[in-house]
Amino acid sequence: MKKTNNFRSFDEVLRSFLDRREKEFGMHRDNDWWHASSLGLCMRKHYFRRMGLSVSNPTPYRIRFVAQDGNAGHAWREKAAKSMGVLIACEERLRDKKLKYSGRFDLLIELQGEKVLIDIKTQRPEAFFRRSRKSKGEQVENFQKQQLASYVYFAKKKWPDLKEARIYYVDRGGGVREEFSFLFKKERFKKVTDELKTLNKYWEKKKIPPVDKTWLCKFCNYKDVCKKVEKSKLNFKQVIQKYA
């Protein structure tokens, strides 16, 4: 006889799906790398993730649903680029064994004979308009530039003539779009490699990086662990024993 399930609503089905997928992802996570998506942000948080610590402050479902919908929006844009004959590569994994870097860019396309790397950022309407109201130089966060520059730096090893990258913001509620182009210079690439070298130094010495208090701490998955590490001055080994 077919076993009945215990789901009381469709929303519960979706929440359980996300939980299961996150658990499976956690079990198969390759913790041997620094991930592009954490560059330019708190090094301690990045470090905790690589240590494989259990999250003490899970991301609320509301935010996880928004992220899922954002990812789903990438699919049709990828199809469109392919169909219009401009797609060179998509969702390609970039790795550097020496610097322990791992990243995956959204799209690499050809525009007017030039290769252009595209990073798609779907935003909630409030976030989109809060960002677009800022002054010109501040509309793209520094950490997003750092992540984008890392894609270009490592993708250049395969496509040496790649020069340009763009962040393509989409307002998920109203359909407004904004595209920002970057031609990164050597100094920006150095910032990327310097950050990775610093992380590697902390890792080799088994030293936990200092706290980096910003407004983002409010959303950090390791907020409670971070406080306890700070309060009790726990070292690498003690943190692994308690929280991994």
Return the residue matching tokens 């259990």: 54
In angstroms, the Cα distances linking 58 to 52, 64, 214, 218, 236 are: 14, 10, 18, 12, 22
- Report the DSSP pairing between strands 107-111 and 177-183: unpaired
Distance CA 210, CA 213 (A): 9
Interface residue with ligand SF4 among 98, 205, 213, 231 (CB under 6 A) is 213
Structure tokens that stand for 62 in this block: 């509301």
Nearest CA-CA partner of 27 in 7, 45, 54? 54
Q: Please tell me whether residue 211 binds ligand SF4 under the rule CB under 6 A.
A: yes
Binding positions for ligand SF4, 28-87, rule CB under 6 A: 42, 44-45
Nearest CA-CA partner of 15 in 54, 74, 70, 63? 63
Total interface residues for ligand SF4 by CB under 6 A = 12
Distance CA 223, CA 123 (A): 24
Nearest distance from C-beta of residue 145 to ligand SF4, angstroms: 19
**Part in contact with ligand SF4 (CB under 6 A); list of ranges 89-97, 108-116, 126-134, 207-215:** 207-215
Question: Please, which residues have CB within 8 angstroms of residue 166's CB and are 6 or more apart in sequence?
Answer: 116, 117, 118, 119, 179, 180, 181, 182
Closer CB to ligand SF4, residue 40 or residue 116? 40
**Part in contact with ligand SF4 (CB under 6 A); list of ranges 109-117, 164-172, 186-194, 212-220:** 212-220
Nearest distance from C-beta of residue 120 to ligand SF4, angstroms: 25
Nearest distance from C-beta of residue 229 to ligand SF4, angstroms: 8
**Part in contact with ligand SF4 (CB under 6 A); list of ranges 67-75, 81-89, 184-192, 217-225:** 217-225
Closer CB to ligand SF4, residue 86 or residue 211? 211
Which residues of this chain interact with ligand SF4, rule CB under 6 A?
42, 44-45, 211-213, 216-217, 220, 222-223, 226
